């Protein structure tokens, strides 16, 4: 599984941009392979002007906003992430994209990192879907769910998502 989380200037891929992308690869037992990669992306001139106040506050509080000036280009970020991913998953089209509400990340990746998107399987493992289903069908499974600690930084959010899926694996996806 290729776990990816992105931080953006907003949620509309047509008007907002990627400012951070991170990736971790896990095996089917959710063991993390390697150190992962976390890349801050220097946004195009003027793109920060379109950030909503709540997003600006979030990226200020996390420290991301002050790191943007030292970020790399979008093309360089894609290269770094793809280098990490292909080191663990050399064959294209076999590893699904995983994360929380990862469809939003994929929309940005499709536009800004097409080579990375093409390397991934078309299927998605969305932990937020599992969380929503568990809340409706097995509400007791939410007891003991790990607290979020990622602070809206990409790599930390991925680690939180992996821990959350481990929790639901133990509490919902039990062996028969």
Structure tokens at 45: 């001139």
- Phi, psi dihedrals of residue 173, rounded to the nearest 5°: -90, 65
User: What are the distances in angstroms from CA 25 to CA 34, 83, 101?
Assistant: 8, 12, 17
Which helix (H) or strand (E) is 156 found in, with range? helix 154-171
Q: Is 138 among the catalytic positions?
A: no
In DSSP terms, which residues pair with 147 in a beta bridge? none
Q: How many residues does the chain have?
A: 176
Q: Which of 84, 122, 138, 168 is catalytic?
A: 122
Q: If we measure between CA atoms, which residue out of 80, 100, 84 comes closest to residue 159? A: 100
Place of tokens 């400012």: 19
Cα separation, 130 vs 175, in Å, equals 17
Residue with tokens 């990736």: 23
Strand ranges (E), 41-101? 97-99
Active site residues: 122
């Amino acid at each position: 599984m290729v776990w990816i989380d992105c931080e953006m200037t907003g949620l509309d891929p047509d008007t907002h941009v990627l400012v951070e992308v991170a990736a971790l690869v896990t095996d089917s037992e959710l063991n993390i392979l390697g150190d992962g990669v976390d890349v801050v992306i220097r946004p195009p001139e003027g793109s920060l002007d379109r950030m909503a106040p709540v997003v600006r506050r979030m990226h200020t509080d996390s420290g991301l906003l002050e790191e943007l000036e030292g970020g790399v280009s979008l093309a360089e970020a894609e290269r770094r992430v793809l280098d990490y991913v292909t080191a663990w998953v050399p064959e294209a089209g076999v590893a699904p994209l995983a994360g929380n509400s990862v469809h939003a990340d994929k929309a940005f990746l499709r536009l800004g990192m097409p080579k990375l998107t093409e390397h991934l399987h078309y299927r998605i493992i969305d932990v937020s879907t599992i969380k929503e289903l568990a809340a409706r069908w097995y509400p007791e499974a939410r007891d003991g769910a790990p607290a979020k600690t990622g602070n809206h930084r990409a790599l930390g959010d991925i680690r939180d998502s992996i821990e959350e899926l481990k929790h639901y694996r133990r509490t919902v996806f039990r062996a028969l």
